[in-house]
Structure 1
Amino acid sequence: MADSEAVTTQRSTVEDWTRALAESIGSPGGGAGAGLMLAVAASLTSMVAGYTEPEEHQRGELADVHARARALRKEALRLADDDASASKAFGAAFRLEPGPEREDAIHRASVDAAKASAVLGERAIDAIGDLGWLASNGNPALIADVVVAFGALRAAVTGARTNVSFDLAALTSAGATLDRVREEHPGLWTTVEHLSAALDRIDELTAEIDHRAAPTDVY
């Protein structure tokens, strides 16, 4: 097995990275997996954009969608690795002996992990509009790929939302109440709400095109 310390989304093979993910070490973990799913969504968005022949008035917008998707693919992989590092610190904090040092470490690691997942989630939210644009204006022959991209994007948003929420709740292990956590970290708390709304938006967009992507699926 590859050394888990050296495994990253940017330098490792899919085989090595997923093998590390399968181990009970937590780094990479679910948050890093969410980052990888965001990269998949961005990659498919880029692919569909590349196959699309736009109308004259759409050329500039399509070029922007394509450029953002290519940039997001790279950023998502970096964010996945950032989350893996945050996850490692999070796990280390909980393994410390009970006491003030452990409580401080848990607090720092929880906030850092929540921030890492929040950034990933915000990038995923930004990608919804571009994928929605392709659902309406992209090459119709690739509508199934758009649906797959929405599925990957939903997984990324779900992972980010759950991890931010879980990491904030972890702060209560040091005695804080959820109300206090909300007061001390209003931005992160609001991010959870934004991510929940994003899931609803992705579901709506997917439902609108599902009949085109899976026309033989008779209920």
Structure 2
Amino acid sequence: MEKPEVTTQGSTVEEWTRALAESTGSPGGGAGTGLMLAVAASLTSMVAGYSGDDGGEPARIRERAQALRQEALRLADDDASASKAFGAAFRLEPGEERDEAIRRASVEAAAASAVLGERAIEAIDDLAWLATKGNRALVADVVVAFGALRAALAGARTNVSFDLGSLRSAGTSLEQVREQHPDLWAAVEKLNAAMDRIDELSTAVDHRAAPTDAI
């Protein structure tokens, strides 16, 4: 009897994390990346809600964050599906059919992770605004959100890079990968730069979030 599908949108946290703990790869690290983005978006929404209710910038940030939370969960489930196809391609018998399946699955998986990464990049500005202009009593929550967002960026960056690198299993060199998929290749460096920015933003407010470190 086939097990019911486990999704971020239709399962409990316990059910989903239990599925993540299984050696199936679906859900896997990519889906976990989407979940971390949803956590960052949720915390952003919470902090924005405590930072003003006059319909100004906090309200707009909260609206964007709530939409991102829902999208991130959907993207996590999309990535889980892509991971399943990725694993199936590598289980095929050696030959042209396997090579083609690997090429298709690798590019689709990289593209799914790149979308997650782009959404994470778009979320940085709102969290940066809250770090300096939001409710100062919630700065610790902002730092936790920065951590979740960085995890999402790191996951997306690594998965895009790894999936592109997997094309070598189908006989494609990295130089050919860069020429054939320039947008996905460029996404890796863009995500690296975004992680650097998150680190700078976190460092700038860490003295307020963790004052005991100063003693």
- Could you tell me the TM-score, scaled by structure 2's length? 0.97
Q: Pairwise mapping of residues 80-159 of structure 1 onto structure 2 (< 5 A)? A: 80-159=76-155
* 2:65 matches 1:64: no
8 A Cα contact 2:52 2:58, kept in partner: no
- The alpha-carbon deviation at position 174 of structure 1 amounts to 1.4
Structure 2: distance between partners of 1:166 and 1:147: 28
Q: Could you say which residue in structure 1 is the equivalent of 2:42?
A: 43
Which residue identity lines up with residue 26 of structure 1 in the other structure?
G
Runs of 4+ in 1 over 6 A off after TM superposition: none
Contact persistence 2:52–2:59 (CA under 8 A): no
Deviation at 1:63, TM superposition (A): 1.9
Task: Give CA deviations for 1:63-94 in whole Å, capped at 9, x if unaligned.
Answer: 22111000000000000000000000000000
Tell me if 1:20 matches 2:19.
yes
Q: For residues 128 and 170 of structure 1, what CA distance do their matches in structure 2 show?
A: 29
- TM-score w.r.t. the length of structure 1 is 0.95
1:210 deviation in Å?
0.2
Q: Which structure 2 segments of 5+ residues have no match?
A: none
Partners of 1:11 and 1:134 lie apart in 2 by 31
Question: How high is the sequence identity, in percent, across the aligned residues?
Answer: 74
Shift in Å at residue 61 of structure 1? Answer: 2.0
Q: Which residue of 2 aligns with 1:34?
A: 33
Confirm or deny: 8 A CA contact 2:207 2:214 kept in the other structure. Answer: no
Q: Aligned residue pairs: how many?
A: 214
How far has the Cα of 1:60 moved from its partner?
Answer: 2.7
User: What are the Cα deviations for residues 124-154 of structure 1, in whole angstroms up to 9, with x where unaligned?
Assistant: 0000000000001110000000000000000
Partner Cα distance (1:167, 1:212) in 2: 39
Deviations 1:183-214 (A, max 9, x none): 00000001101000000000000000000000
For 2:10, what is the secondary structure of its paired residue? coil
CA distance in structure 1 between the partners assigned to 2:37 and 2:75 by the alignment: 10
Alpha-carbon displacement from aligned partner over 1:164-196 (angstroms, at most 9, x marks no partner): 000000011111111110000000001101000
Q: Does 1:177 align with 2:173?
A: yes
| 8 A Cα contact 2:8 2:77, kept in partner | yes
RMSD: 1.3
**Unaligned 5+ runs, structure 1:** none
Identify the match of residue 73 of structure 1 among 69, 72, 78.
69
In structure 1, how many angstroms separate the alpha carbons of the residues matched to 2:109 and 2:18? 22
